[in-house]
Structure 1
């Protein structure tokens, strides 16, 4: 299964924030949408970073409550690892495990077209395995 299949099922909506937004505004958006990361986009619409709950916790541990006054650009992860619609589940699992992150923006020709979370990867991987098990059972039963 590839990313395009996942996006077709789950949708392509992606929450974004501008680099000059405050961390407080960002946390409100995370909380209201019940998500773990937001993609940071510049004025041109290009991805400039990603900010996750972990980034925010790190900022608060270093700066205390004053961290909420910082701009997103001061806290975000700048080296964004992304995937494409043609990326396969196994690739995503390897990238997320190696990089120790839980969200991958999906880019096509530098345009943001979706986001994949570790939850999406696990959900679709389990579904894939269940289909294989079912097919194997049917094969053995009719064998």
Structure 2
């Protein structure tokens, strides 16, 4: 199964920010939308970075609450690992595990088209296992 299958159920809606946003504004966005990361994009949806709850906690832990006034461009991860809709769920899961991150932007032709989280991947995998179990039960009951 592919990333496209996850996005077909979840949707392609993305929450983005510009690199001039402050960390305080990013915190408000995370809280408002109940998400764990925001992709930082230019006006053409080209990815410039990503900032997660972990990034924010890390900088506040080092610099104190004044860090909320920093520009997100000073804190965001600039070397963003992305995937495409054609990538398999297993490939994405391996990248997330290896890189120890929980959110991955989905790109097409260099532009953001969606975001998947480790929660989306786990939910998808559980549904897949439950379907296989149900198919097995059905097969067994037919014999």
| TM-score bracket, shorter-length normalisation | over 0.9
User: TM-score with structure 1 length normalisation?
Assistant: 0.96
Correspondence 1:108-127 to 2 at 5 A = 108-127=108-127
Correspondence 1:26-65 to 2 at 5 A = 26-65=26-65
In structure 2, what is the equivalent of residue 22 of structure 1?
22
On the 8 A contact 2:44/2:111 being kept in 1, the answer is no
Q: Distance in 2 between matches of 1:121 and 1:114?
A: 14
User: TM-score with structure 2 length normalisation?
Assistant: 0.96
Q: Which ranges of structure 1 fall in alignment gaps of 5 or more residues?
A: none
The answer on 1:105 being equivalent to 2:101 is: no
Tell which deviates more after alignment, 131-140 or 57-66. Answer: 131-140
Q: Distance in 2 between matches of 1:44 and 1:112?
A: 9
Write out the 4+ residue segments of structure 1 that deviate beyond 3 Å after TM superposition: none
Q: Distance in 2 between matches of 1:58 and 1:18?
A: 20
In structure 1, what is the equivalent of residue 69 of structure 2?
69
On the 8 A contact 2:89/2:121 being kept in 1, the answer is yes
Q: CA RMSD in A?
A: 1.0
State the Cα distance separating 1:42 from its structure 2 match: 2.0
Q: Which ranges of structure 2 fall in alignment gaps of 5 or more residues?
A: none
The count of aligned residue pairs is 143
